[in-house]
Structure 1
Amino acid sequence: MGKKSKTSRKGKKAWRANISTEDIHDFFEKSTKDALSGGSLTSAPTESLFFIDKSQDLSVKKKIEKKREKVLRVDSMLKKNPFVEAVPSSKQKSSKKKKKEALNAKDVVQDVPKDETVPDSGMVPIWGDEGQHSCKARQVSKQSIIPAVEVEPPGCSYNPTFDSHQDSLAQAVAEEMQKAYKIELGPQPVPLTVMGEVVDEDDKYFIEADDGNDDQMDEENLSEDDKATEKRPLKTKRVTRVELNKRARRKEQQKKEAETKKAVEFSKDIDNLPDILQEIAKEDEEKQKRHLRKAIAKQERLKSCPPRLGKYKFQPAPPQVLLSEELTGSLRKLKGCATLARDRFKSLEKRGLIPPSAKSGRK
């Protein structure tokens, strides 16, 4: 491009004509644009141009948390499966000392009196007795009704009185007689061999021949009867419409009679309602008495005989009663009898601590 030609500025008129006004026009255009757009940026305050965004980006935060919560496959395999039961570890036996210490600590803690003015918030004190107990209660064995050591009656002493000795002897004799009567009146065992008369050889042949002929004759008679029944023609009687109508009317009449009979019985029951209520109350009373009698009988039975634990039934030991000729009246002359271990064993069986064993003789 060529250089711009210079104009002369000697005169005032020429000077005004040759001065450029582009800067002024640009300034006016810029000012009008700023006025239309809302003001100049250079004159605007900093607070209106910039601001600090302190709000949280929830979507990004959720993504980060989700990524953090994601469990690796290795960790998921090592996690406990709720559908598979854990292998129970060996339980340590709780000592009596620890139990005693726990009971003493429980006694030391005093219950704070509850203020009725304070509303109940549903909270339970951690040292209180209330609340849900997740642990299982320890199973406690039932106490036996039979005492561990039973005292023999006075008649079993080494130097008893005459009356007490006779009473104990009578009781022992009654028990033995009861056993004998039970065996005698009980069901008789099936004999292994049956006594009979000796049959001769000639009679044997006749018996065998008679048995065979009778069977053959019976079979022949049965076959003839079957053939005769097969040859008979089966005649079926045709039922007419009149007969069917009669049957339907009879059936309807029987149904009506049953309904009327039922209604009459129901009305009678309503009339006899006080008597029925009295009978029901009487039956309930009888049932309660029967239940009470059964409970008392069960308690009495448990006192003398334990519940069945094994294959064999408990057999009580016979009473240790001395005979009249064995009474000496002195401990020095008393005959020794090693039954202490047997008595303890029978006591354990009677209390239901061990199952009764079979009576075995010495080999």
Structure 2
Amino acid sequence: MGKKAKSSRKGKKAWRANISTEEIEDFFEKSTKDALSGGPLSSAPADSLFVVDKSRDVSMKRKIEKNREKDDSATVSGMADMWDEKGKDNSNTRKKWKPSVIAAVEVEPPGCSFNPVPESHQDVLAHAVAEEMQKVYQNELGPQPVPLTVPGEVVDEEEMYFIEADNGSDDDGENLGENEDAALDERSCKTKRVTRVVLNKRARHKERLRKESEARKVEELSKEIDSLPDIIQEIAKDDEEKQKRHLRRVVAKQERLKSCPPRLGRHKFEPAPVQVLLSEEISGSLRKLKGCCTLAKDRYKSLEKRGLIVPTAKNRR
């Protein structure tokens, strides 16, 4: 078969034959697809393009209605009569304040009276003196602060030079001694040839040590099995000691709470001094008694001791 003859491009027929029709075919395909799918998307309204899913709104509405019913019931129960039994059941329970172990009004010892018995007065006076002496001893025997300056003499430049020279000579002597020791070690440490007999001897020694350790372990295990009753008794004793220790700790905590409140702030609680009269101040009459303590200060210290307010720093005037 021969080659197809080329057509001439000079006439109008040749122009029409060589024109491409791909764009027209694409347009027709697109239009047919749009017609089959319901029309072009560019001309479609927004309501048909976007759809809101409302299938879960029913469950959400139910939840909202349940919450509203609960709120309504709570408000009704809150507005119920406080003397009604039903109202008591529906009322909200509040956290109760834990009462303090320390009494609101503490009674002073008998020795603090304006006309005390001599024996009780001496006991309270001795207790007050012991507290004051404890404070004095604590201040005297307590840890001293670090001094800012260290006492000593100033060293001159010449003395510093001699000190540095002495240190350098000592270092040189130490270095020489270390070098000599290293040389001796190198001479003494020479490689020795290990024979087969020595290797066998070492292996037998290692095997013997292993067997002895295994036998020792078996013996210890048998002893532990035989001493099981003693071990059980020791465990019971330990549990009893732990329980006693726990009880002692609880009792000590209660006693500590009776004497001082829990730590609430930065400052610790400082109890007020014992209001006891000296032997010269005892007159036996209320008219001659001097005023020593105000009621407001006493109540303030009581509130601090019971842990109702935070203790403040002591004002020293």
Using structure 2 for the length normalisation, give the TM-score.
Answer: 0.62
Equivalent residue for 2:255, pick from 300, 321, 334: 300
**Distance of aligned partners of 1:183 and 1:343 in 2 relative to their CA distance in 1, 3 Å threshold:** same
Equivalent residue for 1:337, pick from 292, 313, 317: 292
**Matched residue, 1:266:** 221
Equivalent residue for 1:209, pick from 161, 183, 186: 161
**Distance of aligned partners of 1:338 and 1:174 in 2 relative to their CA distance in 1, 3 Å threshold:** closer
Work out whether 1:166 is the aligned partner of 2:122. yes
In 2, the alpha carbon distance for the partners of 1:340 and 1:187 equals: 37
Gaps of 5+ in 2: 1-50, 62-77
Q: How many pairs does the alignment contain?
A: 246
Report if the CA contact (8 A) 2:265-2:310 is conserved: yes
**Distance of aligned partners of 1:185 and 1:341 in 2 relative to their CA distance in 1, 3 Å threshold:** same
**Matched residue, 2:53:** 70
Gaps of 5+ in 1: 1-67, 81-97, 110-126, 128-134
Matches for 1:269-348 after TM superposition, within 5 Å: 269-348=224-303
**Distance of aligned partners of 1:333 and 1:211 in 2 relative to their CA distance in 1, 3 Å threshold:** same
In 1, the alpha carbon distance for the partners of 2:211 and 2:113 equals: 82
- Superposed CA deviations along residues 120-178 of structure 1, whole A, max 9, x for unmatched, are xxxxxxx8xxxxxxx8x643332211112111112112222222222211211122223
**Matched residue, 2:6:** none
RMSD, aligned CA: 3.9
- Among the aligned pairs, what percent are the same residue? 60
Equivalent position amino acid for 1:145 in 2: V
Once the 2 structures are TM-superposed, how far is the Cα of residue 317 of structure 1 from its aligned partner? 1.3
**Distance of aligned partners of 1:249 and 1:313 in 2 relative to their CA distance in 1, 3 Å threshold:** farther
Equivalent position amino acid for 1:141 in 2: W
- Superposed CA deviations along residues 51-93 of structure 1, whole A, max 9, x for unmatched, are xxxxxxxxxxxxxxxxx993299x8xxx89xxxxxxxxxxxxx
**Matched residue, 2:99:** 143
In 2, the alpha carbon distance for the partners of 1:140 and 1:252 equals: 73
Once the 2 structures are TM-superposed, how far is the Cα of residue 304 of structure 1 from its aligned partner? 0.5
Once the 2 structures are TM-superposed, how far is the Cα of residue 311 of structure 1 from its aligned partner? 2.1
Work out whether 1:359 is the aligned partner of 2:314. yes
Once the 2 structures are TM-superposed, how far is the Cα of residue 188 of structure 1 from its aligned partner? 4.1
Q: Please identify, of 181-190 and 265-274, the stretch whose mean Cα deviation from structure 2 is larger.
A: 181-190
**Matched residue, 1:178:** 134
- Superposed CA deviations along residues 270-314 of structure 1, whole A, max 9, x for unmatched, are 222222212221221122111111111111111101222222222
In 2, the alpha carbon distance for the partners of 1:195 and 1:261 equals: 63
Secondary structure in structure 2 of the residue aligned to 1:325: coil
Secondary structure in structure 2 of the residue aligned to 1:327: coil
**Matched residue, 2:19:** none
Once the 2 structures are TM-superposed, how far is the Cα of residue 217 of structure 1 from its aligned partner? 2.2
Higher helix share: 2
**Distance of aligned partners of 1:295 and 1:237 in 2 relative to their CA distance in 1, 3 Å threshold:** farther
In 2, the alpha carbon distance for the partners of 1:187 and 1:280 equals: 43
Secondary structure in structure 2 of the residue aligned to 1:172: helix
Report if the CA contact (8 A) 2:261-2:269 is conserved: yes
Equivalent position amino acid for 2:234 in 1: E
Equivalent position amino acid for 2:85 in 1: A
Once the 2 structures are TM-superposed, how far is the Cα of residue 260 of structure 1 from its aligned partner? 1.5
In 2, the alpha carbon distance for the partners of 1:248 and 1:101 equals: 95
Report if the CA contact (8 A) 2:114-2:284 is conserved: yes
Using structure 1 for the length normalisation, give the TM-score.
Answer: 0.55
Report if the CA contact (8 A) 2:114-2:289 is conserved: yes
In 1, the alpha carbon distance for the partners of 2:159 and 2:83 equals: 90
**Of the two, which has the highest radius of gyration?**
1
Q: Please identify, of 100-109 and 138-147, the stretch whose mean Cα deviation from structure 2 is larger.
A: 100-109
Report if the CA contact (8 A) 2:114-2:286 is conserved: yes
Once the 2 structures are TM-superposed, how far is the Cα of residue 245 of structure 1 from its aligned partner? 5.3
- Superposed CA deviations along residues 23-77 of structure 1, whole A, max 9, x for unmatched, are xxxxxxxxxxxxxxxxxxxxxxxxxxxxxxxxxxxxxxxxxxxxx993299x8xx
Once the 2 structures are TM-superposed, how far is the Cα of residue 103 of structure 1 from its aligned partner? 6.3
Secondary structure in structure 1 of the residue aligned to 2:292: coil
**Matched residue, 1:105:** 85
Once the 2 structures are TM-superposed, how far is the Cα of residue 331 of structure 1 from its aligned partner? 2.4
